[in-house]
A and B are shown apart, each in its own frame.
Chain A
Amino acid sequence: MTAVARAHILRFALLLAVVVILNFLLPRLLPGSPLSGATGDATVAFLPAAAQAEMRRTYGTDRPLSAQFVAYLGGLRRGDLGRSLATHRPVTDMIGERLPWTFALVGSAVALSAVLGAALGTAAAWRPYSAAARFLGPLVIGVGALPEFLVAMGLIVFLGIALRLFPVGGATTPFLVVSDLRGWLVAARDLLWHAALPATTLVIGLAPAFFLLSRNALVAVLGEPFLLTARGKGLGEHRILWHAWRNALPPLVTLLGLRLAVVVTGAALVERIFAYPGMGMLLFEAVARRDYSVLQGIFLTASVVMLAVNLMLDLLAFVLDPRTRRTP
């Protein structure tokens, strides 16, 4: 392992520590007592002093900050994020239930938009003067500027309500019984069918950036002198495109990483609109119930995933582009 890779890992560890400390301090620094959330705002003030002390003892807020921090770290080490203030279930369990849905939805949407955007971008860069390329550019920029909720509404109204092609909420059909292989196939089809509209909304929001970036990166690379040399040597069109692609790849990987880094809450709005049972929906529910321990758990999960993806991205750039291996 080289010094650069070690520096990346050190940075990751440092930021992780900052996130953990921030997650601990934020609720304690901002105004309002942690107890006011547990009981629904100001009612705590009217409780008898003994009951207030009892609550402080239960939640551990009567102990000094350092002792609270040690307890918090000990909990984290065991994967314990505390209990939900609303449902009293372990936060880790609640997040664990929702994480797979979000990973599947956002992961597939990001992958799909990367492939779609890069393919269209390549086509537009390869034949920049064609009618299709000229038409595609402004169209993609225009569609990409639409807010997510407007796109979602359009899909719900046209594909969901008017044409009745797709369900407009949920992730599965309720009471669907899975017993045999046929049942599994039906269930799988049901999952995809329910994911269609939220995933399409996400792809419409994500694909334009991939299109623009791959088009611009390729156009820039295609103008490089080394491709002129390649042409001069008589290389075929496909070989030239391959050489260009290899050089246009790093910015695309960066964008892919940026989008995957926010995988946990990247679809929050879409999940809320389509009532998709992922992390975004959990965030929405936690806000509605002022469930601070769940909000903190989501913040921590989202941060850790983002830091981890960024670390992998830095190490991947290191593999893809030999120039980044030099110590800066």
Chain B
Amino acid sequence: MNLAATLLRPRRRFRPHGAVLMAALVLGGIIVAAVLAGAFAPYPPRSATGTPVEAPSPSHRLGTNDLGQDLLSVWLHGARASLIVGFVTALLSTAASGAVGLLSVTWRPGRVPLLATTDGLLAIPHLPMIVLIVALLGPGLLHLIAALAFLGWPAYARVVRAQAQATVQRDYVEAARALGASEARIARTCLVPEILPLLWTKFLLTVRWAILMEATLALMGLGDPTQMSWGLTLNSAFAYPLLFIGDAWLWWALPPAIAVAVITLALSTIGQDFENWLNPASQRARRNP
């Protein structure tokens, strides 16, 4: 590091631990609300318990939608689907990223096909591909998760591979090999510890990406109409012609939109802090997921 770089670099951004703590609290709060939706929700979310498009009142804290359903109950139950899509997609695609990244380094015959698949999937536009897959499979939470997980792993598989490739050339891996360690053992004891932190970051970023994609796809008309989610609420709100004429958007479209924004913000705060903590040199914009 030369002197000029040290002098000219802007001072490292002040990041109080409070922000991360708050992000974690907000995230935890939403997760608890989603898990206990049945207990918190004042009404069954699917039944019409009021007149259509009612303004908020003591009996309906967030008003009602065009079907007369209580929007607070709909929001709470919708949180479930959004969070499930986020976390399950992240789990699957993180596992795939890790496995492919690792195998492309340690498993010689698999190298070329794995790299070609990764490259090929990255070269194809994701949104129309996901739309085509979900449209062909039919709407459904599982199909959505499958499509998102299928396209969510390649970008980070490359990052994992780069890290594994760099590690494999280190002297201690060479030493392990000289002592007769098998490829599997080297992968387990030398490579996995180097890769795990990367996968944590990938997991958080992918939860964020998947929740956003769920909302996006629902807004494009690919939500499962039988499965309440924030995206589906947004879609029905935007399909309502008088949404912005009155104040209906305030309690109908705004709460799910803000929820998605708050979750993505919380996750990127946690993810960024995590990444900076792992690797202070990596403070630059990175493409999601």
**Residues of A near any B CB (own CB < 8 A):** 15, 18-19, 22, 26-27, 30-32, 128-129, 133-134, 137-138, 142, 145-150, 153, 156-157, 160-161, 168, 209, 212-213, 216, 219-220, 222-225, 227-228, 258, 261-262, 264-265, 268-269, 272-273, 283-284, 287-288, 290, 292, 295-296, 298-299, 302-303, 306-307, 310
Q: In this assembly, does B18 line the interface, its C-beta being within 8 Å of a C-beta of chain A?
A: no
Given A147-B215, A147-B261, A219-B10, 9 more A-B residue pairs with CB atoms under 8 Å apart are A19-B124, A32-B136, A149-B260, A161-B245, A225-B4, A264-B125, A264-B128, A265-B127, A295-B131
Q: Tell me the bound Cα distance from A294 to B81 in angstroms.
A: 29
Q: Is the interface of A mostly helix, strand, loop or mixed?
A: helix
C-beta contact mask, B198-230 vs A, less than 8 Å → 1, else 0? 000000000000001001100111100000000
Cβ B5 vs Cβ A302 within 8 A: no
Name which of B40-48, B157-165, B251-259 contacts chain A.
B251-259
Cβ B123 vs Cβ A269 within 8 A: no
Contacts of B8 in A (CB 8 A): 128, 219, 222-223
Cβ B138 vs Cβ A32 within 8 A: yes
**Residues of B near any A CB (own CB < 8 A):** 2, 4-11, 13, 119-120, 123-125, 127-129, 131-133, 135-138, 212, 215-216, 219-222, 234, 238, 244-245, 249, 253-254, 257-258, 260-261, 264-265, 268, 283-285, 287
Contacts of B260 in A (CB 8 A): 147, 149-150
Cβ B132 vs Cβ A262 within 8 A: no
Cβ A261 vs Cβ B125 within 8 A: yes
Q: A30-B136, A147-B212 are in contact. Are A287 and B125 (CB under 8 A)?
A: no
Q: A26-B136, A223-B2, A295-B128 are in contact. Are A273 and B219 (CB under 8 A)?
A: yes
- How many CB-defined contacts (below 8 Å) exist between A and B? 149
Q: A212-B285, A288-B221 are in contact. Are A27 and B136 (CB under 8 A)?
A: yes
Q: Tell me the bound Cα distance from A318 to B41 in angstroms.
A: 59
